[in-house]
Structure 1
């Protein structure tokens, strides 16, 4: 496997995992009634996922410029982590909104 693809794959996996972990933490904060802290944690989660997305963008730009990308199981796994983290962030925001509504009653 190309060393660059290996590095990109692990970059995506690492940042996506951190972003998902922060989203989990945000839900836990909201569940305890700490809505503002939860929203701040989600802001951090989105900043981290942007770093993972930059790695993905690097691959897309390379391919758009004619550079073929070797698709490996590791790269597929990295993409899976990124998409799952992004989906989880969306769900976490819904949970935070729901907990905020419950707090206001």
Structure 2
């Protein structure tokens, strides 16, 4: 496995962890446990930042001439990251709505 493929798997893994933590946060919020929800959202953000950092590394390498191969795996990683960020953002809003009840 190449270094680039390892980086792609890091994006997929961190994005999946972020999405999972965000949904756990929503479950806590629905139960009224906003402290646990906040902690899980913090975890979701940290995982999202980790995935974004790897993505930025790949983009920077490409800008500097180290061409990134566009593969189905890379497309999958980008899709995973985008969806996890969207889920996290929406869940943040849902938690705030539950908090206002």
Tell me the TM-score normalized by structure 2: 0.95
CA distance in 2 between counterparts of 1:40 and 1:28 reads: 12
By how many angstroms is 1:51 displaced? Answer: 1.0
By how many angstroms is 1:49 displaced? Answer: 1.1
Which piece of structure 1 moves more, 74-83 or 31-40? 31-40
**Structure 1: unaligned runs, 5 residues or longer:** none
- Residue 21 of structure 2 corresponds to which residue in structure 1? 22
CA distance in 2 between counterparts of 1:36 and 1:96 reads: 11
Would you say how many aligned residue pairs link Structure 1 and Structure 2?
Answer: 101
**Structure 2: unaligned runs, 5 residues or longer:** none
Write out the 4+ residue segments of structure 1 that deviate beyond 4 Å after TM superposition.
Answer: none
Which piece of structure 1 moves more, 91-100 or 35-44? 35-44
By how many angstroms is 1:48 displaced? Answer: 1.1
Q: Do 1:63 and 1:69's aligned partners in 2 also have CA atoms closer than 8 Å? A: yes
Tell me the TM-score normalized by structure 1: 0.92
Answer with 1 or 2: which has the greater Rg: 1
Matches for 1:1-105 after TM superposition, within 5 Å: 3-102=2-101
CA distance in 2 between counterparts of 1:22 and 1:63 reads: 31
| Cα RMSD after superposing both structures | 1.0
Q: Do 1:19 and 1:46's aligned partners in 2 also have CA atoms closer than 8 Å? A: yes
By how many angstroms is 1:57 displaced? Answer: 0.8
By how many angstroms is 1:14 displaced? Answer: 0.5
By how many angstroms is 1:54 displaced? Answer: 1.3
